[in-house]
Amino acid sequence: MKTPKNDLQAPDLYIPLMSFTTFILITGFYMGQKSAADFTADKLSYIFSKTLFLWLFEAMVLKGMFMCLNFGSPPFLELVCYTGYKFVVLCIVMLAELIGGLMAGYGTMAVVGLLFCYFYYCTLRRLQTSSTL
């Protein structure tokens, strides 16, 4: 396995963490636009903790599936990086729904979601082929 200095495609947590933070803020803004009377600052901390738990849980399940299926053995933080890229897609979808409405959000989710699926497939294929060499 190459070090990040020598590997152009090495994952880092910068994009996932920034998009995670942006997703939390956009979700808070969306909730405030939808019903300003019901929105409190406590909801942001609830969204943060729930989303962080689901993100880490997804990475743990993925790590378990890699181990059970003997598909490879990527490091846990690498899986956290790859699963965190979904927040970029979620930010784009939330912004499209804020600007264009519900149908624009669904259309954006279909297009950007398919592109993310392709990216994730290529990433997992790269992980699998690097572990079998």
- Over residues 73-102, the pLDDT tens digits come to 888 998 899 999 999 999 999 999 999 989
Residue 125's pLDDT band (cuts 50, 70, 90): confident
**What is the model's pLDDT at position 95?**
94
Measured distance CA(20)–CA(87) in Å, rounded: 6
| Angle formed at CA 84 by CA 79 and CA 88, multiple of 5 degrees | 150
What mean pLDDT, rounded, does the chain reach?
Answer: 87
pTM of the complete model: 0.84
Residues listed for the chain? 133
For residues 6 and 65, the model is more confident at: 65
Q: Is the pLDDT of residue 62 over 80?
A: yes
**What is the model's pLDDT at position 37?**
74
